[in-house]
Every structure is written in C-alpha cells, then in structure tokens.
Amino acid sequence: MKYLIFSTILVLTITFTYSQNYFQTVFGDENNKVGLLRTMQNSQNEYIMYGGFQKDTIRGAYIVRLSQEGVVLEEELKPIIDSIFVPFNIIQKNNNNYLLTSVIRATPNYQTNNFIVLSETDDDFNILTEKRIKFPLDTMYIYDMDVREINDNEILCYGNCRNDNYSWATFLYKLSTNGDSLLFKVLPDTGNSDLEVNSNKIYFMGPQWYNEISVYNYSNFELDTVVRLSETIGYPFGNMGFVEFLSDSTFVVYGEYPNLDENYVSVLLDTNFNVLFRNTNIGQSMVHGNTPQFNALDINNNNEILTAINYDYILNENCFLVTKTDNELNIIWEKFHEINHYRKTTWFSVYATNDGGCIMFGIDLGYNTSVAVKMAPNGNITHINGEPSDQKAKEIILYPNPATTELTIQKAVQVGNCNVEFYNIEGKKVFYQNLTNSTTKIDISSLQKGSYIYKI
C-alpha cells in the first residue's frame, strides 16, 4: 500500500502536495533563451547537446558535452554574427570529429539568401572547416530540418521549407560531409514526419498522411512504393509518426491511434510490410483529450524499446510518461514523472543507456534552460542534471492539485485492480472507490472543503 498526504493551500480547495526535486539548469543562466534542438550519443557513451541561445541582442550556438549521468563535462557558447542562425543537428564522424549542421536565414531576403552550414570540429569543438551550401529553392527558406548520417562521406537532410505566404514543401537533400550537393528533391506532400534509411531504401513516415509509409530509393530519390498502414494493420494512424529499425529486416512504427482516444499504437513489421507484432496500449494511461505528445524513442542493446511521452494534464502542470517494451512490443513497465507545476518542461529526446536505463533531454520553458534526467532500468530517476536524485517514478498519479469538484486518478498499464480511500484530518474514512480502469474520475463535490489524506 502507498500512503500519500495532501494539505490545504487554499481554504476553498482540496489540495494535494508531493515532494519534488526542482529541475535546475545545466548551463548558462536564467537570462539566456535556450532552444534544445538535437542531442546525440557519441562513441564514448557521452551525450552532446547542440542548439541555439539568445541573451539580450546576442545570438549564437551552444555545444555541451555530458556524462551518462548528465554531468556537464564541457560547454561552448559561440556568438554568431548572422542575423538568424538556427543550429539543427550534430553527428560524430568515424574519425571522432563532429559535424555540426545549421541553417542561416539572412535578412531581409531570407527566402533567397539562406544556407545550410556544415561545420567540422575536433573532439574539443574547435572548428576545423566550414562550408555554406546555398539552399536550392530560391523562394523558400528552411523552416525545420533533420539530418541522418548515411556513412562517413554522406548525410541526408530532410524537412520543411516555406515562403512568407505559408506555401509549404517537404524536401530530401543529399550532401557530402565536405559540403558538396549530391541530390535534391521536393516531395509531393508536406508535413513533419520521421524517416530511416535501410539497405539503400528511405522509409518515410508520411510526409503528409502519417498512416502512410513512402519508400524511396536512396540512390536517386525515386518513389518505390507507398504503403497505407491503416490497410496493412487494420486501423488508422494519426498525428506524428516514428519509424525505427530493430534489424536489417524488421522495423517498428509508432503513431497515434485515434480510435482509442489518443492512445498510441506500436507495430513491428518486416520489410515486406507483414505485421509481426502490435500493441495498442502505449499511453493507455494517458489523459484523454489533452493532446499528449509522443516525442522520442530509442532501442537499447537488448532490443528493448524506450518511448517518452509528455503532456499537460491541467493548466500549467506537466508530466511525462516513459514506457519500456520488449522486442515483441509487450509493455514491461510504464512510469509517470511529475514536474513542479510552476514550470513546464518540453522533452526532445530519449537515449537508452548501457545499464538498461535511459536519459532524457528537454527544455525548461519557465527558465529557458536545458534539463537532463537519468533514469535507472526500473524507470526511477537517479540523476537530475548530473546531481544524484532518489526521486521515485509513479505508477499512479492523482490530479488536479488543488481540486474543487473532480479528481482524476491514472494507473500505469502494469498496475492491477486497487482502491482509493480518503481520510479527513481526524483520521475518519470519508470516501472509498475501486480503481478498475486505467483512468478514473471521482466526484468530490460532496466532500467538505479542507485537507485530506488518501491511501491507494
């Protein structure tokens, strides 16, 4: 049994409180506006963050190296003289140098003067070479972009570009790591989505309809086939989708499952698009109707799949859910982590670590600073920004806090049937209810205003 205490903050409300470790800054100060765009794991199992910052009128890029626990080992802030500079990605080459990918949008005519910038640095982030590649579409500028490392000589850039009239296009752009333009193509549809390259094929989730996978030949960018996932697996995908290869012949796709009130579905397929395994319970314990954001996944050495989902469950309050599944998509566990409700954190990436756990990176929107959270194999937090933490993951969460008329209790998938009891400050039981569903709403309008203890 788990005992939880809540006490009154406002006289007219029932208020729940919990012990909370505040997420602190990794670097910089609260006056910096920081955007965490990409994070990568290098060959030494360290993590490199690469993004943009602004302090007063100074814009630039930052590079931060962290240990597996999120301890800052090295950081660089580089002021940029160009008017609009957007760092996008960082990869490690076979010689252990880093290749930084950025975009410059020159004003006032950034539709006709924007560039992709490739900067090669040594292991200490000293720039060795830098080349600007003119974006092939003169009337469009790059709005967002991602980069895939194909080999030590080639990278694949893809993303969205648009003009001032919000005309959109999705592009594929193959570049050499020396900055030579190799192949460019505008796709017929537009939208943010995910892709992977495997056996000279590009598996593109989308780009516009996320329940479709478009397969292109990497050598010439010609369309090979389009597979409608809703027809293959028997139900639709929606919202943003992710694709990740587990082996040369199998890959997993994730997406929203609209028929389950914004739950997520994971499907394992082979490269002939035969369905091997599926799971429609990912995020089943999420708050329905509040637009949860499935924003990260990674696969560890045991082919276990770690996914991260963050969402708002009431105004100004934030929570993220981490799920681990095996390679047959069976859920091993789900864990909730609550964040102080005076601050919001948006999570960008999750990486599996060698110990079977994971590390997550995000931005604290309240202070515009980065956040690194290391989790153990069981989902509990062990470090916050490099500092040891004993914060336990939650398998059950109760909200809002404070509450007036209704409470919601959510259980992780692995939690069986249980019940909740409320006690007043005199120790008298005033409420009892079984919790059989993943989400239970409780009417508390009949309870007197005050402080209560609840037991689950």
Query: What confidence tens digit (pLDDT) does each residue in 152-201 have?
Result: 899 999 988 887 777 888 899 999 999 999 999 998 766 667 889 999 99
Query: What confidence tens digit (pLDDT) does each residue in 243-296 have?
Result: 889 999 999 888 776 655 556 778 899 999 999 998 877 765 554 444 445 567
Q: Is pLDDT larger for residue 222 or for residue 227?
A: 222
pLDDT computed for residue 77 by the predictor? 77
pLDDT computed for residue 209 by the predictor? 57
CA 146/CA 184 separation, integer angstroms: 15
Is 80 exceeded by the pLDDT of residue 427? Answer: yes
pLDDT computed for residue 198 by the predictor? 94
When pLDDT is cut at 50, 70 and 90, the band that residue 339 belongs to is low
Output the pTM of the full model.
0.82
When pLDDT is cut at 50, 70 and 90, the band that residue 222 belongs to is very high
pLDDT computed for residue 6 by the predictor? 41
When pLDDT is cut at 50, 70 and 90, the band that residue 36 belongs to is low
| Per-position DSSP letters for 326-390, written without gaps between them | -TT--EEEEEEEEE-TTS-EEEEEEEE-TTS-EEEEEEETTTTEEEEEEE-TTS-EEEETTEE--
pLDDT computed for residue 119 by the predictor? 92
Is 50 exceeded by the pLDDT of residue 17? Answer: no
Question: Which amino acid appears at position 293 of this protein?
Answer: Q
| Beta strands, E only, 97-153 | 98-105, 114-121, 127-134, 141-149
Residue 152: burial class (beta carbons within 10 Å; 0-12, 13-18, 19+): exposed
pLDDT computed for residue 249 by the predictor? 94
pLDDT computed for residue 28 by the predictor? 46
CA 53/CA 32 separation, integer angstroms: 6
- DSSP state letter for 219: T
Percent of the chain topping pLDDT 70 = 76
Mean pLDDT, residues 376-398: 85
pLDDT computed for residue 94 by the predictor? 86
pLDDT computed for residue 311 by the predictor? 59
Instruction: Return mean pLDDT, the chain.
Output: 78
pLDDT computed for residue 302 by the predictor? 84
Is 60 exceeded by the pLDDT of residue 313? Answer: no
When pLDDT is cut at 50, 70 and 90, the band that residue 122 belongs to is very high
When pLDDT is cut at 50, 70 and 90, the band that residue 3 belongs to is very low
Query: In 10 A of CB 342, how many CB atoms?
Result: 10
- DSSP state letter for 164: T
Phi and psi of 231, rounded to 5°? -80, -30
pLDDT computed for residue 239 by the predictor? 58
Residues pairing with 97 in the sheet:
none
Query: What confidence tens digit (pLDDT) does each residue in 201-217 have?
Result: 999 887 555 678 889 99
Mean pLDDT, residues 397-404: 78
Phi and psi of 124, rounded to 5°? -100, 15
